[in-house]
Amino acid sequence: MALTNDIIQQKLTNKFGDQLSQWQQPYGMLTFVAEKDINIRVLQFLYDDEELKFQFLTDLQAVHYPDNTGAELCVVYHLHNLKDNVRIRFKVFTDIGKPDVFTATALYESANFMERETYDFYGVNFVGHPNLKRILNVDEMDYFPLRKEFPLEDQTRIDKDDEMFGR
């Protein structure tokens, strides 16, 4: 029997109940939100279940939603079942003041560099990560450049003529 989004959703709902929410299927990819405290339990279940077998972490990144008070940072996991060629996405939200999310490095070795990059650019603290330090930016940097806390352009620049840009 082919693995479908309905089967995946039913298995997850049976296991975690109302701890999972916001079920969607944009472009056919099952997407849901999990409580941040159970992200590793969800990953472990998706990995270990005999029918699901989501044993490949395709991607892990963050998104900053500055207007989403109390849940400004979102960590997004993309998982792939290579046997049935099925992909899913799930998200966990965290407060920007305490951006702690449990690391997935014990389950997926590929999470190591993805989590370091996510920390480097968004400041998500992956609790339990074996070597959580900046990977691309300089160590002295005291901010996280991909957060939407900075203007898109410097309004004090005098070296460009706005009329040239249709403004």
Q: Is the pTM of this model over 0.95?
A: no
Residues in the chain: 167
List the structure tokens of 137: 């930016």
**Cα separation of 72 and 47, whole Å?**
28
Would you identify the CATH topology of the domain 19-142? Answer: Beta Polymerase; domain 2 (3.30.460)
- Strand ranges inside the chain, DSSP E: 20-24, 30-34, 56-64, 73-81, 86-94, 100-102, 125-127
List the structure tokens of 91: 């998200």
Q: Which ranges constitute the DSSP H helices of the chain? A: 5-16, 39-48, 111-122
pLDDT means per 10 residues in the chain (167 residues)? 93 96 97 97 97 97 96 98 96 96 96 97 97 93 89 70 63
Q: Classify residue 24 as exposed, middle or buried by CB count within 10 Å of its CB (0-12, 13-18, 19+).
A: exposed
Backbone φ and ψ for 33, nearest 5 degrees, come out as -115, 135
pLDDT of residue 1: 67
Q: Classify residue 118 as exposed, middle or buried by CB count within 10 Å of its CB (0-12, 13-18, 19+).
A: buried
Domain boundaries, the chain: 19-142
